[in-house]
Amino acid sequence: MKWKKAASILIPTISILGLSQISTKFYRYGFARVDPPLAPDTDDPDYLAAFNEFSRWLGQQEKEHWWLYEDDPRNRIHALYLPNPQPTKKAVVIAHGYHGNAQTMAAYAKMFHELGYNVLMPDNRGHGESSGDWINFGWLDRLDYRDWCLDLVEHLGEDCEVVLFGVSMGGAIVMMMSGEILPEQVKAIIEDCGYSSLHEQLAYRAKVEFHMPRFPTIPIASLINRVVLGFGLNDVDSVKALQANKRPIFFIHGEKDHYVPTSMCFKNFEATSAPKEMWIVPNAKHAEAFAIDPEEYQSRVSTFLKRFGL
């Protein structure tokens, strides 16, 4: 019967070692920097045509290159600043999504320009022209964005008004910023399809994409991340941050979002007691709300901002 006892020890051990190796690969797949192509990965000719049109618009605009921590090669963070053609004290900080960069947010930059805002579009750590080999899913980015807000106040003056806007991972960034001490000039937040927590998002993606169990996949990935980036996956929590939020916030999410489940939007909405609105966009998949109906999207954003005098 000794073989049975040995098997009872060896089989779980081998299984755990195998899952550990797979979890490590999962971490590399999800967290390693990937510089994206200039065009989106899509077969939809209308989407591609619209993307190219917004990219051409961005290329024609007056732009400035801004930097945080410019003298620190390991932490240099880049942003594009687009002053509005009409002098204004209003500004928006636009946070891009996973594997994106500032330039992929051209459509939203144009929208806010038309609404009368100066636009600041950072490249998150591990994206675009910013430094970093690993993606931090907004936890470190949220502090960089706070510093971008301080730079805007210095640039535009103490009487400026700043709005935070983000899509997907960018939506999570601006939600997590809401739990921080921010400059008083930050007046409102708009988030589009951000996740409720990184733990829940990665567990969901591991299940639907790789058919991997939450345990030990996520704990192992969290341990690796604590070594690599200095924090655990449970720290990256939009819901927890929103519980401290006092600023007006507008939640947008696609009805058919199966990448960041629409249910997460309801969790995020319920987490804050601040003035809030929610729009679940019919037939929209992940990050498609603007593409589904740009005019309606801009109208709803404008109405929300005007409600709070912005």
What is the structure's pLDDT at 105? 97
- Contact criterion met (CB below 8 Å) for 274 and 132: no
- Contact criterion met (CB below 8 Å) for 148 and 93: yes
Range of the domain at 213: 19-26+45-307
Lowest mean pLDDT among 88-102, 110-124, 213-227, 288-302: 213-227
Question: Tokens 């519980």 appear where?
Answer: 243
> Within the chain, where are the H helices?
2-31, 45-60, 106-114, 141-156, 169-177, 198-210, 214-228, 238-242, 263-271, 289-292, 294-307
Name the residue among 241, 7, 34, 253 with its Cα closest to residue 139.
241
Tokens of 122: 């950072």
The whole-angstrom separation of Cα 128 and Cα 215 is 33
What is the structure's pLDDT at 215? 86
What is the structure's pLDDT at 11? 36
- What does pLDDT average to over the chain? 91
What is the structure's pLDDT at 173? 98
| Number of domains observed in the structure of the chain | 1
Residue 163's pLDDT band, with cuts at 50, 70 and 90, is very high
The whole-angstrom separation of Cα 56 and Cα 139 is 32
What is the structure's pLDDT at 19? 55
What is the structure's pLDDT at 1? 42
> Does residue 36 lie in a domain region?
no
Sign of CA dihedral 248, 148, 118, 190: negative
> Does residue 9 lie in a domain region?
no
- Contact criterion met (CB below 8 Å) for 217 and 310: no
Question: 41-76: per-residue pLDDT in tens?
Answer: 666 788 788 888 999 999 999 999 999 999 999 999
> Does residue 7 lie in a domain region?
no
What is the structure's pLDDT at 68? 97
Residue 216's pLDDT band, with cuts at 50, 70 and 90, is confident
> Does residue 4 lie in a domain region?
no
Tokens of 35: 């510089």
Residue 133's pLDDT band, with cuts at 50, 70 and 90, is very high
> Does residue 240 lie in a domain region?
yes
Residue 164's pLDDT band, with cuts at 50, 70 and 90, is very high
Tokens of 150: 């301080």
User: 8 vs 116, which has greater pLDDT?
Assistant: 116
- Contact criterion met (CB below 8 Å) for 100 and 173: no
> Does residue 33 lie in a domain region?
no
> Does residue 5 lie in a domain region?
no
- Look at residue 217 and tell me whether its pLDDT is greater than 90: no
Burial class (CB in 10 A: 0-12, 13-18, 19+), 287: buried
CATH number at residue 299: 3.40.50.1820
User: 14 vs 174, which has greater pLDDT?
Assistant: 174
Rg (CA), the chain: 21
Residue 17's pLDDT band, with cuts at 50, 70 and 90, is very low
> Does residue 68 lie in a domain region?
yes
What is the structure's pLDDT at 45? 80
The whole-angstrom separation of Cα 163 and Cα 170 is 13
Name the residue among 142, 165, 138, 168 with its Cα closest to residue 264.
168
User: 34 vs 186, which has greater pLDDT?
Assistant: 186
What is the structure's pLDDT at 47? 79
Percent of the chain with pLDDT over 70: 91
What is the structure's pLDDT at 269? 98
What is the structure's pLDDT at 38? 67
What is the structure's pLDDT at 16? 44
What is the pTM (predicted TM-score) of this model? 0.92
